[in-house]
């Protein structure tokens, strides 16, 4: 069932992701209109309208802000931390394999924050969790890239544990808990993108592992510049990322992977 849901989620998102779906509507509308079908103007208008809304309005940050501000870092950072969990999603295995050096994406702060926390809490264990997150991939896992990157950055590998079988956030929590076997009363920080934190905290809670949220990779702000300064491709990516998280929250709740549709602090 896990494999089926994983494959279906990837295939459906490939077609139904907002930018792709809007483009398909435009193409259908253009072909129909060119062939004299008056109804073609409607899918064309809806498709173009989506892109105009993304370009001309702050819909992207408005979708992201509730996700990013759901969980904050503790006002007073813990004085003692037993471990730091870093979720995958910040590396590019295919580019790493093609070029021979660790490649990061827009969520790179997950990887750099781990180094900062390792120095801040020198006794803490560092755990990276991430296997293969895509249907089409090469031989490297996210954990392989993380190991190469952190080794090159001087992180003591004796402190680090790599979980390399997980393919989604649910498996991040379940497989990492099985691997680490955390003890009651221990303090573990969870490092991931701020927009992903509600779903991540929800699945770790459902797995019986209370964690301290440590969000990074914020993509929104409340100033006028922050709402409108991003170029169109970045706005489109923000809309798609936010909608994917909102859909993921509902889907995880319906599948019993979280105990609430929008986990709260």
The per-residue pLDDT for range 178-233, each reduced to its tens digit, is 999 999 999 999 999 999 999 999 999 999 999 999 999 999 988 877 778 888 99
Q: What tokens does 150 get?
A: 């952190």
pLDDT in tens, 135-173: 666 789 999 999 999 999 999 999 999 999 999 999 999
SS3 91: strand
pLDDT in tens, 60-114: 999 999 999 999 999 999 999 999 999 999 999 999 999 999 999 999 999 999 9
Q: Tell me which DSSP letter residue 212 carries.
A: E
- CA 193 to CA 106: how far, in whole Å? 10
Looking at residue 139, what is its pLDDT?
Answer: 83
Looking at residue 83, what is its pLDDT?
Answer: 97
Helix (H) or strand (E) holding 213: strand 212-216
- CA 14 to CA 20: how far, in whole Å? 8
Looking at residue 134, what is its pLDDT?
Answer: 67
- CA 234 to CA 247: how far, in whole Å? 20
Comparing C-alpha atoms, which of 252, 199, 246, 237 is closest to residue 18?
237
Comparing C-alpha atoms, which of 122, 128, 119, 120 is closest to residue 85?
128
- CA 25 to CA 20: how far, in whole Å? 9
What's the mean pLDDT when you consider all of the chain?
92
Could you give all domains of the chain from N- to C-terminal order, each with its CATH number? 2-69+221-254 (no CATH), 83-216 (3.40.50.620)
3-state secondary structure 130-153: CCCCCCCCCCCCHHHHHHHHHHHC
Looking at residue 240, what is its pLDDT?
Answer: 94
SS3 81: coil
User: Does position 9 have pLDDT exceeding 70, yes or no?
Assistant: no
> Other CB atoms closer than 10 Å to residue 186's CB: what's the count?
15
Looking at residue 132, what is its pLDDT?
Answer: 84
Mean pLDDT of 35-63: 93
Per DSSP, the residues of 243-258 read HHHHHHHHHHHHTTSS
Classify the C-alpha dihedral 242-246-204-131 as positive or negative: negative
User: Does position 59 have pLDDT exceeding 90, yes or no?
Assistant: yes
Looking at residue 1, what is its pLDDT?
Answer: 44
> Other CB atoms closer than 10 Å to residue 200's CB: what's the count?
25
Q: What tokens does 180 get?
A: 């680490």
Comparing C-alpha atoms, which of 232, 224, 229, 228 is closest to residue 54?
232
> Other CB atoms closer than 10 Å to residue 194's CB: what's the count?
24
Looking at residue 148, what is its pLDDT?
Answer: 96
């Amino acid at each position: 069932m896990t494999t089926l849901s994983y494959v279906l989620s990837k295939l459906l998102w490939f077609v139904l992701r907002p930018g792709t779906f809007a483009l398909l509507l435009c193409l259908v509308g253009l072909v129909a209109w060119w062939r004299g079908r008056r109804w073609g103007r409607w899918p064309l208008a809806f498709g173009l309208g989506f892109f105009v809304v993304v370009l001309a309005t702050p819909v992207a940050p408005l979708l992201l802000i509730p996700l990013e501000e759901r969980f904050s870092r503790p006002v007073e950072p813990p004085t003692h931390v037993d471990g730091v969990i870093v979720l995958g999603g910040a590396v590019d295995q295919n580019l790493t394999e093609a070029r021979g050096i660790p490649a990061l994406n827009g969520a790179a702060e997950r990887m750099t924050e781990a180094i900062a926390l390792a120095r801040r809490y020198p006794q803490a264990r560092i755990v990276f969790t991430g296997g293969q997150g895509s249907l089409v991939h090469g031989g490297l896992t996210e954990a392989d890239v993380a190991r190469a990157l952190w080794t090159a950055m001087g992180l003591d590998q004796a402190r680090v544990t790599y979980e390399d079988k997980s393919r989604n956030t649910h498996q991040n929590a379940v497989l990492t808990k099985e691997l680490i076997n955390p003890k009651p009363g221990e303090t573990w920080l969870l490092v991931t993108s701020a927009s992903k934190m509600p779903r991540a905290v929800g699945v770790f809670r459902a797995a019986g592992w209370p964690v301290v949220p440590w969000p990074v990779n914020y993509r929104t702000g409340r100033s006028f510049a922050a709402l409108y300064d991003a170029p169109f491709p970045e706005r489109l990516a923000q809309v798609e990322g936010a909608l994917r998280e909102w859909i993921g929250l509902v889907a995880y709740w319906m599948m019993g992977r979280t105990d609430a549709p929008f986990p709260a602090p």
